[in-house]
Structure 1
Amino acid sequence: MFSKYTVFVKNVPIGGHNPVVIQSMTNTNTLDTEKTIKQIINLSNAGAEIVRVSVRTLDDIPSFKKICEISSIPIVADIHFDYKVAIESIKAGASKIRINPGNIGSLWKVKEVVKVAKDYNIPIRVGANSGSIKKEFEILNMPRFKALAESALEEVKVMEELEFNNIIISIKSTDAKENFLANKYISEKVPYPLHIGITEAGIYEDALILSSAGLGALLLNNIGDTIRISIAGDPIKEVLAAKKLLTLLGFKKGPRIIACPTCARTEINVEYLANKVKEWTKNIDEDINVAVMGCVVNGPGEAKHADIGIAGTKTGGAIFINGEIAETVLFEKLEETFKKYIKNLISERKKINTDS
């Protein structure tokens, strides 16, 4: 179930019946203000709605403050150990802070952080990952997924005892099944929004497969309010992958390009054309299924569930709408003709929606 509570990270609502929010994290040196701001702009342009920035010590605060002032999207302060850094990050303009209460130290330090968060009305993200399961739960020999979830619930309990409910919870494991079971368990226990992800998912291809399986399973079970696909490398790839996952699963508007797996009847390079169609439709923010099929023998029929498609011919392609061929053109006219039909399709939809 999606969370019952809605938490605002600046102007971005997380939880309730709001859309799933995409986030990522900068990998620049926070002291390099210009480089960090540039990366945040690039992440925002790619589709990130929230960006997390590491605030390591008090030395990072002046730069972090400037970053918060300039950024057009909410900035989350990632804090470890020092409660003073958490407090100063809030005062510097953080829209949310990420802490582990257990790492902050004495309860009075956590209280100080919570007090300032209340004063500034910003949420706190708490939780656990597979590397921070509390020893007392491991000693009880309970299943790891439950120990992971209970470790996070301990952090939530600290917040609740301080009468603080402006909370987002994050549970992440490197194991997709454990990750699913832990998030499912905690979603049934508390009403707070959940930030989901697979921690340390790996390099690009591995991270895509693991995160798609792990996060897709959660989202299809209505669990998860904000996501990050963790990839070792360029964070822009994280955002593009998250955006595509949400689109393909129907949680975000956009075109879905389907393509046949090819066979001996194929008369075009399907992979090449599918990539071209992907490029032609990249700026469309409507839910449209586009099919790219290798031949006209049974391509349109097999893809009649698509809104629009192209079936390959020896000299070009046949444009089909709802399984019926509308026009056959040469290669050099394919892009122009396809764009004309898809523009008409979008216009007709908008007209129907307006009239109704």
Structure 2
Amino acid sequence: MSVRPYRDIARRKCRQIKVGAVRVGGDAPITVQSMTNTLTADAKATIAQIQALEAAGADIVRVSCPDEESTAAMGEIVRAAKVPIVADIHFHYKRAIEAAKAGAACLRINPGNIGSADRVKEVVKAAKDHGCAMRIGVNAGSLERELLERYGEPCPEAMVESALDHAKILEDNDFFEFKISVKASDVFLAVAAYQGLADACDYPLHLGITEAGGFRSGTVKSSIGMGSLLWAGIGDTIRVSLSADPVEEIKVGFDILKSLNLRHRGVNIISCPSCARQQYEVIKTVERLEQRIAHINTPMTVSVIGCVVNGPGEARETDIGFTGGGNGTHQVYIAGVPHHRLKDADIVDHLVELIEKKAAEIEAAKAAAAAASGAKTAAE
């Protein structure tokens, strides 16, 4: 029995596939991905953006392949990348074959747009020959005309039917290494479509609210849509679609997963919005602190609270806690217990020092545990 059952999320049971070396579905961690917005034919610029995404924690990166120049650059891009590269294919089946040969780990396709049955077979053969997975990408904005005429408009039922029809095309070609997405810019439509698809199949699901908007509005829409699905146990890999720097998509994606306790990366800062009770400038302190600890990947929780109303309570639940006190004398907590006071010193410098020390301790403990486990295995 869980100690806090109200926090438990029972993930939907589904089959597992591999995108390169990354597992998706089953009991694998929910992966976070983004997409480059450079010209793929410009390999140097695309590689630079992929490296920035890798530094932010991306598990998978997608690049668009609209033309032969793009797939010609794929080999160089794949060789430079540390994460699996997904080739985004629309309409032209030859681009999919070229991307598979160039080393793409996954092909994002719409089998219904590829063309004849023979062309689909060629794409499937290329995927099998080169170890590619696939993603069936259904989008409310590009549903088949027949479905729109029958249903009258994009709706959850039409999107699920489209996804299952495309899945059958791959199944009929004896191909099962694929995941599915049913994206829409309308949160209600996307959520309902994913709920229907989750009930209708056991394939891994790629979540996204497509064309969600700018940084702030897109973050809100994505958090509501994907957050509600993830809370219900639906979703195996996610992409936050923002009209912003792709690196921000990765950051928001991890923040969504951290909020639901589904995955942890880096420092989770719990901070108050500040008010007249604050004993130091909370907002500026948190802004500076976030910048200074952006390089830390070790999971931990830090509370930064302006006064003693909620500060001690929040600190009890965090690795490191900081609570504002009177006369410029503040309380620092370690592992939920009062540890020392801070007066007349730079708060951010002090917290960064504590956080880096804690991160080093956590990583050292992990390394020691791994070494002990390896020694035990060798002895057996």
Whether these two folds match at TM > 0.5 is yes
Taking a change above 3 Å as real, the CA distance of residues 233 and 308 of structure 1, as seen in their structure-2 partners, is: closer
1:85-130 Cα deviation digits (max 9, x unpaired):
1111111111111111111111211111112212222111113111
1:310 has 2:330 as partner: no
1:5-37 Cα deviation digits (max 9, x unpaired):
111111111111111111111111112111111
- 1:173 corresponds in structure 2 to 184
C-alpha displacement at 1:44, in angstroms?
A: 1.0
C-alpha displacement at 1:4, in angstroms?
A: 2.0
- 1:325 corresponds in structure 2 to 338
In 2, Cα distance between equivalents of 1:98 and 1:315: 56
Q: Where does the alignment leave 5 or more consecutive residues of structure 1 unmatched? A: none
1:209 has 2:220 as partner: yes
Map 1:161-310 to 2 at 5 A: 161-253=172-264, 254-296=266-308, 299-301=311-313, 303-310=315-322
Whichever residue aligns with residue 277 of structure 2, its letter is: R
Whichever residue aligns with residue 15 of structure 1, its letter is: G
Matched residue SS, 2:181: strand
C-alpha displacement at 1:346, in angstroms?
A: 7.2
Matched residue SS, 1:198: coil
Q: Give the stretch that moved more between structures: 254-263 or 333-342.
A: 333-342
Q: Give the stretch that moved more between structures: 56-65 or 20-29.
A: 56-65
- 2:111 corresponds in structure 1 to 101
C-alpha displacement at 1:281, in angstroms?
A: 4.1
1:226-265 Cα deviation digits (max 9, x unpaired):
1111111321111121122222222222322112233332
- 2:361 corresponds in structure 1 to 347
- 1:18 corresponds in structure 2 to 28
1:334 has 2:344 as partner: no
Match of 2:93 among 59, 83, 91: 83
C-alpha displacement at 1:192, in angstroms?
A: 1.1
Aligned residues: 356
C-alpha displacement at 1:179, in angstroms?
A: 1.1
Matched residue SS, 2:87: strand
Whichever residue aligns with residue 160 of structure 1, its letter is: E
1:141-178 Cα deviation digits (max 9, x unpaired):
59811211211111111111111111111110111122
- 1:30 corresponds in structure 2 to 40
C-alpha displacement at 1:132, in angstroms?
A: 2.2
Taking a change above 3 Å as real, the CA distance of residues 339 and 89 of structure 1, as seen in their structure-2 partners, is: closer
In 1, Cα distance between equivalents of 2:362 and 2:97: 53
Taking a change above 3 Å as real, the CA distance of residues 318 and 174 of structure 1, as seen in their structure-2 partners, is: same
Q: Could you tell me whether the CA contact under 8 Å between 1:255 and 1:285 is conserved in 2? A: yes
Matched residue SS, 2:279: coil
In 1, Cα distance between equivalents of 2:284 and 2:247: 24
C-alpha displacement at 1:302, in angstroms?
A: 5.3
In 2, Cα distance between equivalents of 1:125 and 1:345: 37
Whichever residue aligns with residue 323 of structure 2, its letter is: A
Q: Could you tell me whether the CA contact under 8 Å between 1:50 and 1:73 is conserved in 2? A: yes
In 2, Cα distance between equivalents of 1:339 and 1:288: 13
In 1, Cα distance between equivalents of 2:313 and 2:81: 49
C-alpha displacement at 1:81, in angstroms?
A: 1.0
Q: TM-score normalized by structure 1?
A: 0.91
In 1, Cα distance between equivalents of 2:349 and 2:244: 36
- 2:8 corresponds in structure 1 to none
Q: Could you tell me whether the CA contact under 8 Å between 1:3 and 1:194 is conserved in 2? A: no
In 1, Cα distance between equivalents of 2:34 and 2:155: 27
In 1, Cα distance between equivalents of 2:218 and 2:117: 37
Whichever residue aligns with residue 319 of structure 2, its letter is: D
- 1:121 corresponds in structure 2 to 131
Matched residue SS, 1:89: helix
Taking a change above 3 Å as real, the CA distance of residues 279 and 189 of structure 1, as seen in their structure-2 partners, is: same
Q: Could you tell me whether the CA contact under 8 Å between 1:319 and 1:326 is conserved in 2? A: yes
1:182-215 Cα deviation digits (max 9, x unpaired):
1111112211111111100011111110011111
Q: TM-score normalized by structure 2?
A: 0.85
Matched residue SS, 1:108: helix
Q: Could you tell me whether the CA contact under 8 Å between 1:270 and 1:294 is conserved in 2? A: yes
Q: Where does the alignment leave 5 or more consecutive residues of structure 2 unmatched? A: 1-10, 374-380
C-alpha displacement at 1:289, in angstroms?
A: 2.6
Q: Could you tell me whether the CA contact under 8 Å between 1:247 and 1:255 is conserved in 2? A: no
1:157 has 2:168 as partner: yes
Q: Give the stretch that moved more between structures: 26-35 or 238-247.
A: 238-247
In 1, Cα distance between equivalents of 2:211 and 2:151: 26
- 1:134 corresponds in structure 2 to 144
